[in-house]
Amino acid sequence: MNMLESFNSALDYIERNLENEIDENELAKRAHCSVYHFKRMFSYLADISLHEYIRRRRLTLAALELQNSPVKVIDVAMKYGYYSPDAFTRAFQVQHGVTPTELRISNQSLKVYPPMTFRLSIGGGEPMMFRIENKDEFQVIGITNRVTPIEMGEHPGVEQVWRSTDHDTYAELKSINNVEPFGILHVNVGEEFGNRKADYNYYLAVASTEVSPDKFSRLVIPAMTWVVVDTKVPWEPGKWKQIYGEWFPTSGYEQVEGPTIQVGPEIQIGVEKQLLTEEVGVEFWIPIKKAR
């Protein structure tokens, strides 16, 4: 079974179990990959998180059922996993623009999300430069901040690090970079994906074997295999599609949980916004393992 068939088998399982608890391990089994990789792939291929897709499908079926049958609102809510009527009403109104009760007494339009299917598309016109890197455990040392992501642009928590770092601190940080990967590292730990954003830890760091000075934070990165993608910043949205829609399905690898690392670019110290006047080449490191 190829990746397309595997992922559609997982989607079929979701569709047949929208009234039940959906077992993520069963999804991964059908998709022939780990839960983590399936969620990551789904997010980038569908432009929506798995959690949000399931929520939208359940609220779609709930609305159609309320519109076409006399069943009680509370019964529909419980059928689709909402054991609090208030929670069901809030979620329903966010998606459809009306409450379940208002739907019953008026002829309102509904926001319906049909079942999703992955289909083959022709791609690969743009070359992608990458290498596989097996790397022993190493440490990064740098400045860290907890980041709350936003939909567009640089996240404020990341910009805060860039803005608040002074020239002497930045120079000291660069001076202790004595092992690969060489250069300024932008390390994200625990970053979510798709439309379901969550806070994560960002490090402006370097790889080093030295003892971390007190002013910096230390992060140990375990031995891992990485795919290292040569790309440019500012990031183009199409690059994610290329990595997750073209490279992963044909590579024989899947992503594993762990930090992602962008090597470069240098930052401008103390400025409100980072302004790039031209594209800058960087490396993007993604932790991987051999697929099943």
Q: Answer with the one of 70, 105, 140 that is the final residue of a domain.
A: 105
Is residue 240 in a domain? yes
- Domain of 235: which CATH number? 3.20.80.10
Identify the H or E element spanning 249. helix 248-251
Which structure tokens are listed for 251?
A: 């590579």
pLDDT tens for the chain, 292 residues: list them. 577 789 899 999 999 999 999 999 999 999 999 999 999 889 888 888 899 999 999 999 999 999 888 899 999 999 999 999 999 999 999 999 999 999 888 777 788 899 998 875 555 556 778 999 999 999 999 999 999 887 766 788 999 999 999 999 999 999 999 999 999 999 999 987 654 468 899 999 999 999 999 999 999 999 999 999 999 888 776 788 888 888 888 788 999 999 999 999 998 887 777 777 788 999 999 999 998 7
My answer on whether 101 and 210 are in the same domain is: no
Residues 15 and 86 reside in one and the same domain: yes
Residue 116 placed within a domain: no
Structure tokens at 176: 């202790």
pTM of the model: 0.80
Distances 40 to 2, 111, 156, 237 between C-alpha atoms, Å: 18, 25, 24, 15
223/148 same-domain check: yes
Burial class of residue 65 in the structure, from the number of CB atoms within 10 Å of its CB (0-12 exposed, 13-18 middle, 19+ buried):
middle
In a domain, 246, yes or no: yes
261 close to 187: Cβ distance less than 8 angstroms: yes
Contacts of residue 220, Cβ cutoff 8 Å, sequence gap at least 6: 137, 138, 139
Assess if residue 120 is contained within a domain: no
Q: Does 95 share its domain with 134?
A: no
Q: Is 286 found in the same domain as 141?
A: yes
Question: Do the beta carbons of residue 153 and residue 272 sit within 8 Å?
Answer: no
- Tell whether 67 and 134 lie within a shared domain: no
Q: Does 152 reside within a domain?
A: yes
Q: Please tell me whether residues 137 and 276 are part of one structural domain.
A: yes
Those residues with Cβ within 8 angstroms of residue 243's Cβ, 6 or more apart along the chain or in another chain: 44, 128, 229, 286
CA distances from 113 to 52, 55, 79 (A): 11, 10, 18
Q: Are 22 and 14 in contact (CB under 8 A)?
A: yes
Judgement on whether residues 76 and 157 belong to the same structural domain of the protein: no
Q: Which amino acid is at 196?
A: R
What's residue 195's pLDDT?
46
The residue segments making up the domain with residue 224 are 129-290
The pLDDT of residue 117 is: 87
Tally of domains within the chain: 2
